[in-house]
Structure 1
């Protein structure tokens, strides 16, 4: 299933977006234990599947038929049922659900649909049931950074979100989720299969400025909510870089070499070995990361090569900036045989929000350029039409002038013209005499 920017898709989206989505589901596992749960707008089903490992039963609903079809094929369990459904009309019996989970859903519909959704949640929840709902804080998610998510219809400010939920629930407890920088000191001797999710045993009175709001609501007093407090580090992943080789017959992606691209902080390094064993190489094409949009600054490379970015957008400070997936560099070998290719430098892997923001900016710029060119073209067409009309007028005038010249020449050379010449001279003299009187 492809990532479009609207729904998180495991193994297609990494980094901050991956952690944000997975942490929400990990954080609520104690609250859904042995419960009947509804995961509203479940997407491709990864969260529903995680909940099913603790819950008695879980329904996953989504308006997308493709998503539900994918979920049914990907996740098989006796305590999961996936259904195609709109959130405005939940396919669940009255007061039959212990917990309703709805992450990053409410902002995707208009105000009328939001109220209908909340009403439906109250209908399907048991009287002591719990709603767990998340949404981005409009001030931090959109206003402060000047970002517009094209999939969002009605976002909430934090007080609006709380008032919205308190209109139907007696108790509402608000959380925030976001990334923080911290110093990590730990033993070098750790188990390989170390957990990737941690609870916070000690809470410190620090300002929580996370851009996502998570609310836990109920008509019954809420307890044990400290279990939701948690830390989830960025997941490590193996990033592969690709090198295409041209030995005289062009680049062949099927025979491309792959090597792991190591990233630590903003530093990257990658090495392709034994290139001299591949025959005479005309040129190389390097794809740093497939399916990623990046900014990259290559600081170290062999002295006998020349690197040319093929599809970059431009340069920002010292970085080559790309606004396309699968960035490419052409590598020309200018000296001796290249035995191996080692590259080092700085890299920024852009998350989906940055990508959409950059693409939106790029699209707006291109649209403006198109409109300017269309205006110039329209003016050009008008000038072209005026030029053609003027040419026709000139040609007509030239034709008339030529005809007059021909007729005049014929007349002057005619017999009648010569016979009447004395009379024309007398007439001209009389006119002049009359004018003098």
Structure 2
């Protein structure tokens, strides 16, 4: 790890300290070679006072047992019918995986406890089908889990629920993780899977989706998705709609994936987030340093005019920043010219590792909406190198410098940059 990596991690620690992370580990990940590294990552999380709750699956182990014992399973995920034999093997698999996790945690001196915190009832008869020993979650024993967390004990929760009358039921682990995260009002729910995350129609990893986009994606592509990853997307959406800020789906076979996802801006998997995850707000004096850092490279590339901290401080009421995960990753300025009913879009910049994620377009739309609400009829900008972006992505058109307000035209002629003048009519 280099110094910049460490600084990046340190920036997140105040934000996550004493917050609850629910980490759902597929049975296949517990069985993979990288699991010992995941345990070391969990030790790092605990060392910076992040409260960890582990939920594990058993589908992989259940399949292995069925092969070993030459037994046919009624289902492996806890979603379909669970017959008596599948139920018995589920108890065996869950016990084995729980023990394996407890054993691994002890090697990093992490105290943990297997729990019976899931209160469940029979799933019942649905559509004429008796689901037998499949369960549905009634509630989570929150006080029990919180007590363990207060004592610095990691709760380990398997996909088995208990009804309080000496009966237990097989439950889907994705559902368990979702319910636990919602009940504890967790900061994050993280699914460690044998998949890289959510892939688009071209097979490329989708880095992030807000809840509405995730719903639309599910509606369009759910039939083409593998059942395990579809299940995680569905539970991620549900969790975000019920108070969990962020849900991450990532490849648990990848070394350092967990830490990279949590402590970096871009991550390595897919993040589903609630709407409060990102926002555009007016810049504050304390943001000036971040704005200067954002615009340094575009200034050096002669894409925008040089600006000093004093320049930004003077014009601060006209500056806005784009925040994601409490990090400033974009900025824009909107200068008003009331006499001509025009506004100028300026100083648009997005952090390098956030490019091609639509942030620039969101800032442009924000500038359009703001200008329209303030009664301006036209938005214009000056560009030397990024004019094609504004024309293709923002719908701007090229114009003659004569459209500029007089005071702006004088500055344009004085600086000699010969920027292209672009404009866009506003509907207001």
TM-score, reference length from structure 2: 0.23
**In terms of Rg, which structure is larger?**
1
Structure (1/2) with the larger helix percentage: 2
Query: Relative CO higher for 1 or 2, CA cutoff 8 Å, sep ≥ 6?
Result: 2
